[in-house]
Structure 1
Amino acid sequence: MPLAHEVTGPAGAPVLLLGSSLGTTRAMWRPQVAELSRRMRVVAFDHRGHGHSPAPSGPYDIADLGADVTDLLDHLELDRVHYAGLSLGGMVGMWLAAHRPERIDRLALLGTAAYLPPAGGWLNRAAQVRAHGTASLTDALLGRWFTPGFVDRHPEVVAPLVADLAAVGAEGYAACCEAIAAMDLRPLLPGITAPTLVVVGAEDPATPPRHARLIAAAVPGARLAVLDRAAHLASVEQPGQVSVLLAEHLLEER
């Protein structure tokens, strides 16, 4: 069964896949879908264990999540696409660009890392979720997803994300945590050939800018953009800036 997904935009236009973060669904990309689908065919999907996607039994690794996306491309009969991913979605994007380079045209990596120790922190989070559910993470994650004051100023934006987090099954979320705990994509970065944009919020405590700089320095020709007044979910907190950056990177003439 393919990953849950929605397709928006004109047939025949360049295709963009959007991969969301751990604990969110494709709904986090709504501002970018609305903007980019004017000129692109946009496919937003839910990772396994998230949203309406199936949650196979663990353990998972990043290769499993990458294979899910490859299967989705096959299901949609898409040979080659642009890909943008945030956090976990970015990790999957790096894996795809390294292992399935023929399928990825241009790549955008937002608020992500190629290696994110300590593993113990991810394993502890997995244990917490299995014991108490994903809703138990809400307060801690909101403090990492957004800069101070954003939650109070924009409850209409935050409330759907909180609801989506609470709806994520404990086992699927925990198994994704374990995949991140075991992940080290750093050796793959020099082999990525897709033109790459790396974006990070200047105030991101989950994947601080040093992780973005490492990726940008290791991927040949990669470009780095650091966004002020943004934390981890930069696509939500600074939707206009992110949409502009993606459009410039994905649609520019070669």
Structure 2
Amino acid sequence: MSPSPIALVTGASAGIGAVYAERLARRGHDLILVARSAARLEALAARLRDQTGRRVEPLPADLRRREDLLRVEHRLREDRGIAMLVNNAGIALAGPVVGADPERLEAMVQLNILAAMRLGAAAAAGFKARGAGTLVNVASVLALAPERFNGGYAGSKAFVLAFTQSLAAELQGSGVRVQAVLPGATRTAIWEGAGVDLASLPPEMLMEPEEMVDAALAGLDAGELVTIPSLPDAADWERMDAARLALGPNLSRNRAAARYLGR
């Protein structure tokens, strides 16, 4: 019997990451689960082993610490059994950037951008070399609506979206699948960490993590590069992306536009 493909999931101890772990185990993946809490990872791993019969390895790591990040990155580059990365770990910070604690902003950038980039690049390199693999980067709809939340958080998720789009172009024809998932408000502990009371959010805006992940996986199965789980009509995204691409020929020219030169 050939070994089962392994999915490595970051931020796996709760919320979106834990749901991805459960859904992927039921799809036939063995798992490597990454998060800070060894106890919570082991509890989840034991439950998933019992419920699904899959092999589940807890890999405790704080991806804001360089030595932990490099350890997970090395595993992604060297373990040929890994066929999927769900790059989900992240933190949020609510409120204005002006006056925010710079240490908290830096920690958010460290996890949401640097760790996501290094792990995504490591996974992509391994998958390309093997001619197969799936990279899922969890971003946020705030990548498209930065005025609606903390600019550091929205900016970090805009990075994840742009990084994913660029990787998809780079890996075209390589056999590697790439997806950016842009959830809206989802009922997870990230809000508490950001200092936001979930009860303050309109119920019609708040999605359960199980439904969000199921929609994201359906988008992956459908071959979507960008999945926005709550968007009713995919054509809305397609029109927006087409408008962005239409700017291309005029984004870099050897002269300033006539409107800036008094013409």
TM-score in same-fold range (> 0.5): no
**Which structure has the larger Rg over C-alpha atoms?**
2
Normalising by structure 2, report the TM-score: 0.38
Higher relative contact order (CA 8 A, sep 6+): 1
